[in-house]
Chains A and B, each alone.
Chain A
Amino acid sequence: MNELVRQRATVSYALLLGVTLVAFWLTVGHGGAGLSESQALIWTQIIVLAFVKVRWVLMDFMELRSAPIGLRVLYELWGVAVASVLIAFAWLVT
């Protein structure tokens, strides 16, 4: 069980670094995001990637994957709710 936690966490760590670099490259690396693409779309991508990362930290670093369902759902809901609100604002408020 302990070994599994360690392996899972390491895989997640690699993924976290990967996604971080992808997000960085997408928005900053290749000349920065001009206003050519819809800013709401770019924002949505950034938020989704960020909360995918948050989820890995919750599930594999904080070990919610093997926690009682209620606790896990509560935290997942936090991620879903915050991400949804942030994305919604970009599309609805201009």
Chain B
Amino acid sequence: MSATTSGVKGDGVRRLRRIPAEPGIWVFAILDMLIFAEMFGIYGWYRADHYEAFHAAQSTVIPAFGLAYTVILLTSSWLVVLAISAARRGALDVADKLARGGLALGVSFAVLKLIEYGTKLGQGITPVTNDFFMFFFVMTFVHLLHASVGIGVLVYMRRRIRALSPGVSSDAKSMGVIETCGIYWHMVDLLWIVLFALLYLRG
């Protein structure tokens, strides 16, 4: 779609490219994604090197959990995009409700994750059971910590949305902070998409 290029759009208005949210969050995100990339890469190596063992260990992972997490986080991210969009056009009540929805889904992600950990531990499967589960627990736990911080970030985002002046086009700084919160949450979502593929889908 032409809106995504910096060329002239059909209606004659040239759209400028702008850095979404604050530049600093993009520094944070790429650095954090590098660390996860390192873990993903090491996992990929181990998995290829010990394929039979990993494949066998993976059979006790319940894919339905993974699917649930993915749908929850994708929906949560989508709601956050809608919330930010609503905040931009001054529809603050709508924005708040949408943000609350995103937040609720984020919390349910964490709760479900703890339940899944509970079932695994109950079966006697721990991070030291074998290499696959070492990666499973460590990577998902690090992700869970990020998601938990993300829940805090979403709470803060809601607060900032409620602090906007209704009906007035919001000042760039406030929207910048709100968008920054959204970017962090999308990063959590994006990282989960990869983890889902690595850990829950059997190949």
Contacts and interface: CB of A to CB of B under 8 A. Distances in A.
- Whether A and B touch (Cβ < 8 Å) is answered with yes
Interface string A16-50: 11001001100110001101000100110111011
Nearest to B82: A6
B196 A50 contact: yes
A17 B74 contact: yes
Contacts of A2: 85, 88-89
A61 B17 contact: no
Contacts of B190: 54, 57-58
6 closest A-B pairs by CB: A50-B197, A42-B203, A93-B48, A13-B78, A9-B81, A89-B44
15 contacts: A6-B81, A9-B81, A9-B82, A10-B82, A23-B201, A24-B201, A28-B200, A28-B202, A39-B203, A49-B197, A50-B198, A61-B78, A62-B186, A62-B187, A68-B19
Interface of A: 1-6, 8-10, 13, 16-17, 20, 23-24, 27-28, 32-33, 35, 39, 42-43, 45-47, 49-51, 53-54, 57-58, 60-69, 71, 74-75, 78, 81-82, 85-86, 89-90, 92-94
